[in-house]
Amino acid sequence: MNLDPLVDPDLFPLLARAKAEGNPVAYLDSAASAQKPAVVLDRLRDFYTRDYANIHRGVYPLSERATEAYEGSRERVARFLHAKPEEIVFTRGATESINLVAFSFGERFLKPGDKVLISALEHHANIVPWQQLRDRRGTTLDVIPINENGDIDLDAYCRKLDDARLVCITAVANTLGTVTPLQEIIALAHQAGARVMVDAAQGAPHLKLDVAALDCDFLAFTGHKVYGPDGIGVLFGKAELLREMPPWQTGGDMIRTVTFEKTLFAESPRRFEAGTPPIGAAIGLGTALDFIEAIGFDKIGAHDRALAAYAVDKLGEIPGLKLIGTPQHRSGIVSFVLDGIHPHDIGTLLGSAGICVRTGHHCAQPLMEQLGIQGTVRASFAVHSHAGEVDRLAEEVMKARQLLG
Ligand code: PMP
C-alpha cells in the first residue's frame, strides 16, 4: 500500500511556499478545487507572455497561434476522453456544461411528461437544472435511491428506468466518495431507450473516463478539479446529438451569418461557444491533462484507495466519530461527523492548525436530509496527499473533540 505522495508536493508552488514559510498546509480539499502544479502555472505564463490574443477572428500570427493552442487543447481533451474533437464543447465549468444539456437537449429532445432520472447522490449542479427544466417544460423528475452504504440501489434503478428518457448520474459522489457503476448504469439506460449524462466533475481527477467504452451520451467535467485553471469546463456530447441541438447562449463566434432579420448558426461545437471563451484556461487545462495522464490513472486509483482506507481506519479509532458512507468502491473522499459537534466548528479548528477540509452540506442538501444530518467534515485526496497528512488530521480532530466535546 503506497501512502506516500504520488507527486512531490513541492511541485505545487502554493504548498511549497507554505512549507518554506514554516506553515505547511495539509490540503485535504481537492474535491472542492485542486492546487495547481508548476507546469500548469508555467504554461499559463508562457501563453500569456508569448501567444496571447483573441482567437478565431484574427488573421495576424499572434491570433493564429492562440487559435492553434486553443483548438489544440480541444484535441487534447478529446484524447483524454477518447472522443472526437468536434464532440468537445468548452464551457466555464461542469455546472455550465450540465445547464447546456438541460436547456439545449431539453428543448430539442424532451417533451412534457418525459422523465429525467437523477440519483440521490447528486450535487446541486446535477439537480437544480433538471428541476428548472421540469418547471419550464413539464418534464418529470425522479430520484434513484441509494442503500445504507451510500451505493446506488440498482434494483430500484431498473424499476424506475421504465419510461425514463434521460439519466443524469455522477461518476463519483462528492460527499461520500461513492464510485458509481457507470458502465452498468449506462448499458441499462440504453436498453430502456434512455440517454445518459455523466457528471464527471469528481470522476475526472480520479478515474480513467473513456466515453467510447462507456458509451455515455454526455459527460461533463471541470478544469479546476483536475489541477487546471478555474473558469473552464468541458462538455462531451455524441456528435449526432450535438448536431441536432440548438444553441443556448447566443452572440459572437457561434454564428455563420447574421443579418438584422435572422442568424445562421455555426456547426457544433462552435455553436455552443458564444462570445470570447476562457482561452488561457482552456490551454492550461490541456497541460493539466498532460500532467495527470503522465502519472496514470492506475496509480492515482491505487493511491486514492490506499489513502482513503488509511483515513477510514485512523479516523475510525476516534471515539464519537461516525464515518458517513461505506460505499463498495470509494474514491479519495472520506466524510465524517462527530457526536454533538457542528462540522463547521471542527473545520474552523482544523483550519487554524493548517488543515484544509470542507464542512457543511457539500452542495448536496437532499442527500444530507436523507442521511438525517446537517452536514459533514470531508477530507479529500490528491496526487500530492500522503499518510502524514491523514495522521495530522486525526490528531487535530482528537484535539478538536476534547476542546469542543
Ligand atoms: N458536480 C459535482 C459532483 C461537483 O462536485 C461539482 C463541484 N463541487 C460540480 C458538479 C460543479 O462543478 P463546477 O463548480 O466547477 O461547475
Query: What's the rounded Cα separation, in Å, for the pair 54 and 52?
Result: 7
Helix, strand or coil for residue 400? helix
Task: Fill in the amino acid letter for 286.
Answer: G
Pocket lining: 358 vs ligand 1, CB cutoff 6 Å? no
**Residue labelled with grid coordinates 495527470:** 292
In angstroms, what is the span from residue 355 Cα to ligand 1's centroid?
22
158 is catalytic: no
Residue having the nearest C-alpha atom to atom 8 of ligand 1: 32
Tens-place pLDDT, residues 43-66: 999 999 999 999 998 899 999 999
DSSP conformational letter for 267: P
Query: What's the rounded Cα separation, in Å, for the pair 303 and 30?
Result: 14
> Would 9-30+297-404 and 41-293 be classified into the same CATH topology?
no
Pocket lining: 73 vs ligand 1, CB cutoff 6 Å? no
Looking at ligand 1, which atom is closest to the CA of residue 92? 16
Tens-place pLDDT, residues 329-386: 999 999 999 998 999 999 999 999 999 999 999 999 999 999 999 899 999 999 999 9
Tens-place pLDDT, residues 213-233: 999 999 999 999 999 999 999
Tens-place pLDDT, residues 91-124: 999 999 999 999 999 999 999 999 999 999 999 9
Pocket lining: 168 vs ligand 1, CB cutoff 6 Å? no
**pTM, two decimal places:** 0.98
> What integer is the mean pLDDT of 62-78?
97
Where do the structural domains in the chain lie, given as residue ranges? 9-30+297-404, 41-293
Torsion of CA 338, 340, 344, 346, to 10 degrees: -50
Pocket lining: 35 vs ligand 1, CB cutoff 6 Å? no
Pocket probe mutation, ligand 1, options 118, 128, 225, 361, max atoms within 8 Å of Cβ: 225
> Of the candidates 394, 334, 351, 369, which has an alpha carbon nearest to the alpha carbon of residue 172?
334
Looking at ligand 1, which atom is closest to the CA of residue 363? 8
Pocket lining: 206 vs ligand 1, CB cutoff 6 Å? no
* Whether ipTM exceeds 0.90: yes
Q: Which fold has domain 41-293?
A: Aspartate Aminotransferase; domain 2 (3.40.640)
In angstroms, what is the span from residue 63 Cα to ligand 1's centroid?
32
Class of domain 9-30+297-404 as given by CATH: alpha beta
Query: What's the rounded Cα separation, in Å, for the pair 371 and 355?
Result: 26
Cell of 367: 442527500
Distances (CA, A) of 1 to 304, 307, 340, 375, 389: 10, 9, 34, 31, 16
Pocket lining: 94 vs ligand 1, CB cutoff 6 Å? yes
Q: How confident is the model at residue 131 (pLDDT cuts 50, 70, 90)?
A: very high
Tens-place pLDDT, residues 247-270: 999 999 999 999 999 999 999 999
